[in-house]
Chain A
Amino acid sequence: MTATTTTGARSGGGMSAVNNLIVKIGKSVGGVVGVLYQSGRETIDVIIRNILPFMAFIAMLIGIINKTGLGRGLAHLVAPLAGSLIGLIAISIFCAIPILSPILGPGAVIAQIVGVLLGTHIASGDIPPQYALPALFAIDSQVGCDFIPVGLALGEAEPETVEIGVPAVLTSRLVTGPLSVILAYFASIGMYQGLGK
């Protein structure tokens, strides 16, 4: 049985080389197409499971806020805060308060709602556009504070590390939250000059 195969291979040496080449090309092309297809499937999955539900919920919220005139009231409330460096620093400190930050954290839902709200106020001219960058950091100083034990467990941390890690991250945020706003404020100098009013 083995002998027959070897003789067969020997007699058709050129042929089998071509065969191998074809198999190799077929395999690698198939592999790449498989990867692309899988990526497409993953993308559509994420869009349907994560992005569309959030869009639906945001659209409903904005629709109601715009139509009921709640938006104008909110603008009076938010614009002075988000339209100045001091106000933004205040927001970031508020979000980073160790008791509040884990509550504000989950799924970044609150940060996303506030982000969308600020966006509509930037578009309407209530908040100057150069505050977009510092605002991004101000509303996000609580990022991941709800997830510290799980995140550390994913990194295979010991229980003692988790015990110390949670307060360590929470305290660090009180300093780095406002600091990130100040950094962003200076980094946004010269951005969107002359845009809006």
Chain B
Amino acid sequence: MSLSMALAGISLAAQPTVEKPHGFFGALATAAQWFIGLFNEGGTVFMGLLTGIIPTLVVLLTFVNALIRLIGPEKIDRLGEVAARPGLIYYPIRYLVFPALSVFFLTNPMCYTMARFLPERYKPAFYDSAVSFVHPITGLFPHANAGELFVYLGIAAGITGLGGQIGDLAVRYLLVGLVVILIRGILTEIITARMMSRRTVTEEAAA
């Protein structure tokens, strides 16, 4: 049956009444059929990804790239200087607004260079906060991390498969991501401070 279908696929003129493959070569033929079937299935998946994702992505990426070029990413340098200030009210700027804008404008991995505006004790926390945002942002702004889209797209494809709208997921992913990077930034800053003070104590003891 499978061979006859394959023959029909190869030439439409072939007679549909072909004997079922048997014997050694029959088994080989069935195995070959199964083997090529694996890749036919993969090809269908690839085509689905290509036509489903790429067209919108091309236009969206071009738009955001142009927008960033027209605004000029160097504008957020000034924000970095504000974010470096100590004090409780600067936490949301340092670990929320600043990393989010860095990831948006400079994208992964250049966004981590913005840590140069911060004092040493904030740098690990800023990195943690920025790197945790490179996936939540891809739901709405895929340009920020175009190489790692499938963390989001993979799961979003499940929702699409059920016939749901992925907008809801994208927005909530972004918003929860913002809360998470703030928490990560604050916690990592506390841990870094602890470890730094412990190190100075041991160094003094050793000296």
Residues on A lying within 8 angstroms of B by beta carbon are 32, 35-36, 38-40, 42-44, 46-47, 50-51, 54-56, 58-64, 66-68, 107-108, 111-125, 127, 129, 132-133, 135-137, 139-140, 143-144, 147-148, 150-152, 154-158, 160-161, 164-169, 171-173, 175-176, 179-180, 183-184, 187-188, 191-192, 195-196
Contacts and interface: CB of A to CB of B under 8 A. Distances in A.
Interface of B: 37-46, 49-50, 53-54, 57-58, 61-63, 65-66, 69-70, 109-110, 112-116, 118, 120-121, 123-128, 130-132, 134-136, 143, 146-164, 168-169, 172-173, 175-176, 179-180, 183-184, 187-188, 191-192, 195-196, 199
Nearest to A139: B151
- Residue among B58, B132, B160, B172 facing the most chain A CB atoms (10 A cut-off): B132
- Residue among B118, B132, B150 facing the most chain A CB atoms (10 A cut-off): B150
A82 B93 CA distance: 34
Given A60-B39, A108-B148, A155-B114, 8 more contacts: A54-B147, A59-B42, A67-B38, A107-B148, A116-B157, A122-B159, A144-B132, A167-B195
A169 B127 contact: yes
Lowest 7 A-B CB distances belong to which pairs? A63-B42, A155-B115, A122-B158, A123-B161, A144-B131, A165-B124, A115-B154
Contacts of A62: 41-42, 45
A67 B37 contact: yes
Q: Is the interface of A mostly helix, strand, loop or mixed?
A: helix
B151 A155 contact: no
A183 B179 CA distance: 9
Given A122-B161, A136-B135, A51 B146 contact: yes
A166 to B, nearest CB: 8
A24 to B, nearest CB: 17
A175 B152 contact: no
Q: Is the interface of B mostly helix, strand, loop or mixed?
A: helix
